[in-house]
Structure 1
Amino acid sequence: MTDKPLPLLVTHSGGFHCDEAFAYAVLKRALGLGPVGTDHRLLRTRDMKRIAEGDIVFDVGLEFDAARDRFDHHQRGAPTRADGTPFSAAGLVWQKYGEAAVRAILPEAARGFAPAIAQELDRSVVFRIDEIDNGTATSRGVLDLASLIGDCNLAWDAPGGDDPAAEDAAFQEAAALADAVLARRVDAVRGRHVASAEVLALHGRGADARVLVLDRRMPWKGAVFDHALPVIYCIYPVQNGNWMVDTMPPEPKSFDQRLPLPEGWAGLQDAALAEASGVPDAVFVHLRRFVGAARSREGALAMAQKALALGFAAAMAPKG
């Protein structure tokens, strides 16, 4: 009785691009594959007879059929996204295996976020790879993922550069880079989703809907925008033991505030700020009035409440 051969993954030989390196990283995560040769084989070739032998074929073969694990985009009639953007091999593989790859990266407690994270990464990462690979991107940064992976190709004058084994080794390095970027991006998006759920829960339990009180520092402004919360100030602890009083901008990426901290507190510290604010453990307020701090949760909450009262009074004061 002969052992069944390891599953064969096939892509093209020669110089490689971001889309097939990223696609390979996604496949390995989704299918739980280890290093090449341990539980799968990887063949880089342009020989159509060899390509036909593959269990999964990507970025080569002139065929797209997700049911048969064929993911090429170079043929006439290759699939496009709803907006007409052509898919790359990365995009085609992601449509079938992206969510499974994300789920494999996530800790068990966060796997419920896998569909939402996969959709976000499709928009923010995979779509970009599709654009660049097909030449439809309107701009391209010097240090984008495609450029970094492209730099993994052997230099034209590298010793042994004509050796297919050396090219295969370089491709493995590129795939490892793509995998590392994928894992870090999944974790970053996971963190935002977890933070958003916690922000909503804490806001719902708060005494004043205008003041969000967190028990640890986390991304919070995105959740406020996404759920249209009426937050003016956010209070949270930082590493040095202080409690911050952070202001909410009126719109994403704005450097303005819905309500700046009081003008009379601007640039003050310690005793001077304590006297001006009436909060004994007040530490500082930035000159631009977008952030301040106290030494305790109670002090920070008092600063926020006093700032709200002063801001309301100023808004109601007669004009002129």
Structure 2
Amino acid sequence: MTDTALPLLITHSGGFHCDEAFAYVVLQQALGLHRPGGDHRLLRTRDAAAIAQGDYVWDVGTVFDPAARRFDHHQRGAPVRPDGTPFSSAGLVWQQYGEAAVAALLRAGGGEEGLAPAIAAELDRSLVRRIDEIDNGVAGSREPLDLASLVGDCNLPWDVPAEGRQAAEDAAFLDAVALVEQVLRRRVAVLRARLAADALVAAAHAASADPRILELDRGMPWKGAVFAHDLPVLFAVYPVPNGNWMVDAMPPEPGSFAQRLPLPQDWAGLQDAALAAASGVPDAVFVHLRRFVGAARSRAGAVEMARRTIARHGAG
């Protein structure tokens, strides 16, 4: 630490990218920092003498040394991932502080800090790695990461006057940081919920009368758990806030819009009395025209819709 009362965090001045904005958010969360000028100082500079005084330095300084809290990736010999993918400052900071940042966000959300390692690993795979790839120009033909584009849009237009530009760039950087922080908070919350649901889905499946019909007491992310545990689920049944019970068809593979077993064709697009007559389920409410989801007014009705579909198709 420097002799000043507040820790000094440094990244480069001028135009910015997603990686240094993301790295700053991770450091803030992991270190318990909140407001520049309040509990820490943020300096955006390329001045070597100033950089040498920093307590935490990233994306500038041509040094990678975690023990010295230096996280640049522009120098020769900069670290790479095991498969050779180069790190950006986001990836370098994440390797050291990502799990602590996730734990802090979980703690602020009410607990479940034990999920931090799994969530941090998933975020590294699905988000941080993409930031690394894009920042280093090795993204290949894959679609660009929307977050990187949104952060890029926070930069000042080229024709902003030179007078006062540095202060305006610093303010724009903080706008980008606020955007990234919200994205990270939401991603952590989503992954926490998904991991928490995994055990509940497995337990509910074990308790379901028919292994092909997953009966849940509340709505939750369930399809990922079915794939992860290789369960023979064809339909999930669960309540929704309006009082109905959904009967939701399982896709054949992640990301697919098809179904392992669609609801019957002659139920498609029907509602209420017409659907009750066609299905033989008195409290059936609707079946989507594309046959991937339907509903009944009771749990028993939704389960019966699933059972009748399985019987109609002769699925074993």
Match of 1:245 among 244, 247, 253: 247
SS at match of 1:208: coil
Match of 2:174 among 150, 172, 179: 172
AA paired with 1:48? A
- Cα distance between partner residues in 2 of 1:126 and 1:74: 17
- Cα distance between partner residues in 2 of 1:292 and 1:163: 56
Match of 1:227 among 215, 229, 232: 229
- Cα distance between partner residues in 2 of 1:262 and 1:166: 60
Shift of 1:174: 1.4
AA paired with 1:248? M
Task: Single out whichever of 154-163 and 183-192 deviates more from structure 2.
Answer: 154-163
Task: Single out whichever of 67-76 and 270-279 deviates more from structure 2.
Answer: 270-279
Shift of 1:111: 1.5
Task: Single out whichever of 96-105 and 138-147 deviates more from structure 2.
Answer: 138-147
Shift of 1:159: 4.4
Q: Retained in 1: the 8 A contact 2:134–2:144? A: no
Partner of 2:157: 155
Question: 1:104-157 deviations in whole A, cap 9, x for unaligned?
Answer: 111343221111111111111111111111111114757721221122222222
Change (3 A) 1:175 1:263: closer
SS at match of 1:109: coil
Task: Single out whichever of 51-60 and 136-145 deviates more from structure 2.
Answer: 136-145
Change (3 A) 1:171 1:267: closer
Change (3 A) 1:150 1:63: same
AA paired with 1:243? W
Q: Retained in 1: the 8 A contact 2:29–2:105? A: yes
Partner of 2:60: 60
Q: Retained in 1: the 8 A contact 2:130–2:145? A: no
- Cα distance between partner residues in 2 of 1:253 and 1:5: 51
Q: Retained in 2: the 8 A contact 1:286–1:292? A: yes
- Cα distance between partner residues in 1 of 2:287 and 2:209: 24
Q: Retained in 2: the 8 A contact 1:161–1:167? A: no
- Cα distance between partner residues in 1 of 2:201 and 2:111: 18
Greater gyration radius: 1
Shift of 1:277: 2.4
Match of 1:279 among 276, 281, 290: 281
How many residues align structurally?
312
Unaligned runs of 5+ in 2: none
Partner of 1:104: 104
Shift of 1:289: 2.7
Partner of 1:114: 116
Shift of 1:33: 0.2
AA paired with 2:19? D
Change (3 A) 1:286 1:42: closer
- Cα distance between partner residues in 1 of 2:304 and 2:264: 13
- Cα distance between partner residues in 1 of 2:290 and 2:127: 35
Identity %: 69
- Cα distance between partner residues in 2 of 1:162 and 1:195: 50
- Cα distance between partner residues in 2 of 1:151 and 1:266: 44
Alignment RMSD: 2.0
Shift of 1:264: 4.0
Q: Retained in 1: the 8 A contact 2:264–2:291? A: yes
Partner of 2:270: 268
